[in-house]
Chain A
Amino acid sequence: MAYLALKGLTKRYGDLVAVEGLDLAVERGEFISLLGPSGCGKTTTLHMIAGFVEPTSGSIELDGQALDKVPANKRGLGIVFQNYALFPHMTAAENVAFGLEMQKMPRRERDTRVHEALQLVGLAHLADRHPARMSGGQQQRVALARALVIRPSVLLLDEPLSNLDAKLREEMQLELRSIQRTVGTTTILVTHDQSEALALSDRIVVMNQGRVEQVADPFSAYEGPASGFVGGFLGKANVFTPQAESGEAAGRARIGEASIPMDGLPVPRGTVIVRPEKILFSEPAACALPGRMKARVFQGNHWLCQVETSVGEVLVIRQNDGVPVPDEGQPVHLRWRARDMCPVDSGTRP
């Protein structure tokens, strides 16, 4: 049975639908990301789980118990807020101790647990410092320690890394994952950063306009997006609409000038997505799509290429492995395997 079960969770503000019919089953110890653009309902969902927002309908169950009527201060969930929400008038240690004080833990045990928690995030030496004198990364870690020290049943993270600069963010992502694996707490992360979701999660929940588009592990979600939206949101995607060939060329798909053999796979109906890194530059061939290199950008370990073709602009990513990449303005030919064409629904409703 799922540890945390959301069933038909809905939140409406008058005519505005923030979250519609959300179903999710989270296993104990899982790291789940709620991923989507602003306004997709991910933060509202988090707030409903936390108890700050009352759902319009649907239910939330934790370990078999209904959470709906439980007030926010009795749910035993750990929360890390987007701007950390550290109590400015308390030291790091006092911040972390607060939740334990609320549990009426005796002072000695409390001090031990606080020390443990601060050590877990590597900040034992800053126990007596106030938040104002800490860097963003340090504040974030104190917030994490404060949420974890109460041994919460679920850890909720509301875009905790969005205020950090890129390098720090990467570091923290790795640390977050490692801490979560060490402690084993069921975790739900809200983020709009797809690479973050891909890096940290056991499973990703992609949301758009209040609805769930796909729930899958990172690799599956990336390789096999369920909809055009997911395809476009998780990484870059080229969208094509292949036509089925008939007669002699039956069993092939036509995209522009290219006639692509399907190798036994059914010709996809509707639109498909092809990831830029799956496209190769090749010699002219019947199965290759001709085009002209419009622009190419060197990114260090790879090239990002924009190719103008008869079916629109195609994005190609090539590893910087020594194989020369055509110059701008050159005519090129693009080819990819049949199985790299991932069919998605043309609309975004699953």
Chain B
Amino acid sequence: MNARLNPWLLSAPALVVYATFLVVPLFLVFLISFFNFEFYGGIEQAFSLANYRDIVTDSYYYEVYARTFGVAAAVTVVSLLLGTAEAYVLSRMSNRWKGIFLMVVLGPLLISVVVRTLGWALLFGSTGLISQGLMALGLASAPVNLMYSNTGVIIALTHVLVPFMVISVWASLQRINPSTEAAALSLGASQFTVLRRVIVPQIMPGILSGSIMVFAMAASAFATPAIIGGRRLKNVATAAYDEFLNTLNWPLGAALAMLLLLATVLVLVSANRMIERRYGAIFNQGQR
């Protein structure tokens, strides 16, 4: 009984846009993933799990998925180590440096991923800087070409995604009561022990949720694997692109996309729930 509008009324415009331009398109993709594709006849509206079966049984797709999740896992591990360490180091800087370096680490997120990946493309390659550098250091006897290699993709993806890790761990670090560190020191713990027994357990939620985010984004990445990985090393995203835009086998592309969506959402939702459950009570993370 006040002049405020019903919340559903206020949300209505946004809801309409979402319903039309999010729910419907996704539903359509879901639908056509069950259709059949005739090479010369276009899309036939039969209803079957043929596409899914193809994906699951074809060794080509097995390789694609293995590569996708393998790369994602590697990226996650490296980002975890690098991102957590950097976040911790940043948190112990004086305010002036903290501000500057946070800007340096987070700023690249505002630069388009194409541009960042182009930089790695320039660095890789047999005439690239990295190759020359490694040869100069004597670590390589022949030109090292990281382009079109899994390693190259991993490095470039890590570069793109590690800022998210830093953000997540940083947020966790901010929530730590600094006195706990001081208390541990006063009780005789070494710096390393403080890290291991006091800091890391408290930033676990940040580490875990950051890892999940990085994994999900790495598994669904497109631009970086496309540029660095090239035509040979396909991952799920680039394979789906192929089917849709090159082969025009929309049902198959749709099936690939659906599986990717399912995997991503499953990972994100279930892992977040697990984190909430395990750490939510301890840290009283009441979110509005």
> A72 CA to B3 CA in the complex, in Å?
8
Residue of B nearest to A55 (CB): B1
Q: Give A53's nearest chain B residue, CB to CB.
A: B1
B2 at the interface (CB under 8 A from A): yes
Judge whether B1 and A73 touch: CB under 8 Å: no
A90 CA / B3 CA spacing, docked (Å): 22
In the complex, chain A residues 52-72 whose Cβ is within 8 Å of any chain B Cβ: 52-54, 71-72
Interface of B is mostly: loop
Give chain B nearest CB distance to A146 CB in angstroms: 19
Name the A residues within 8 Å of B2 (CB-CB): 52, 72
Interface residues of B in 1-43 (CB under 8 A from A): 1-3
Q: Are A54 and B1 in contact (CB under 8 A)?
A: yes
| Set of chain A residues within 8 Å of B1, measured between Cβ atoms | 51-54
Closest chain-A Cβ to B5's Cβ sits at a distance in Å of 14
Q: In the complex, what residues of B have CB within 8 A of residue A72's CB?
A: 2-3
Q: How far is the CA of A73 from the CA of B3 in the complex (A)?
A: 8
Alpha-carbon separation in the docked complex, A71 to B2 (Å): 7
Interface residues on B, range: under 10
Write out the residue numbers on chain B whose beta carbons fall within 8 Å of the beta carbon of A54: 1
Query: Which residues of chain B come closer than 8 Å to A53, judged between CB atoms?
Result: 1
Tell me, in angstroms, the Cα distance from A226 to B3 when the chains sit together: 41
Query: B-facing mask of A257-288, CB < 8 A → 1, else 0?
Result: 00000000000000000000000000000000
Q: Report the separation of the CA atoms of residues A53 and B3 in the bound assembly, to the nearest whole angstrom.
A: 12
List residues 67-95 of chain A with CB under 8 A from any CB of chain B. 71-73
Give the docked Cα–Cα distance between A53 and B2 (Å). Answer: 8
Across the interface, name the chain A residue whose C-beta is closest to B1.
A54
How far, in angstroms, from A54 to B1 measured CA to CA in the complex?
A: 6
Interchain CA distance A52-B2 in the complex, whole Å: 6
Shortest Cβ distance from residue A60 to the other chain B in the assembled complex, whole angstroms: 13
Contacts of A73 in B (CB 8 A): 3
Query: How long is the Cα–Cα vector from A333 to B63 in the complex, in angstroms?
Result: 98
Find chain A residues with CB under 8 A from B3 CB.
Answer: 71-73
- The CA of A54 and the CA of B3, in the complex, are separated in Å by 12
User: How far, in Å, is B89 (CB) from chain A's closest CB?
Assistant: 36
Interface residues of A in 27-59 (CB under 8 A from B): 51-54
Q: Using a CB-CB cutoff of 8 Å, which residues 91-122 of chain A contact chain B? A: none
CA distance A73 to B2 in the complex (A): 9
**Assembled-state Cα–Cα distance A54/B2 (Å):** 9
Distance in angstroms from B10 CB to nearest chain A CB is 19
Expressed in whole angstroms, the Cα–Cα distance for A51 and B3 within the complex equals 10
Query: B160 to nearest A CB, angstroms?
Result: 40
CA distance A53 to B1 in the complex (A): 7
Residue of B nearest to A52 (CB): B2
Q: Nearest chain A CB to B6's CB is how many angstroms away?
A: 15
A52 CB contacts on chain B under 8 angstroms: 1-2
Complex CA distance for A283 and B3, rounded to whole angstroms? 69
6 residue pairs, one from A and one from B, having the closest CB atoms: A54-B1, A52-B2, A73-B3, A72-B2, A71-B3, A72-B3
Task: List residues of B whose CB falls within 8 A of some A CB.
Answer: 1-3
A positions within 8 Å CB-CB of B: 51-54, 71-73
Give 9 A-B contacts (CB < 8 Å), ordered by A residue. Answer: A51-B1, A52-B1, A52-B2, A53-B1, A54-B1, A71-B3, A72-B2, A72-B3, A73-B3
Other than the given A53-B1, A71-B3, A72-B3, 6 more pairs (CB < 8 A) read A51-B1, A52-B1, A52-B2, A54-B1, A72-B2, A73-B3
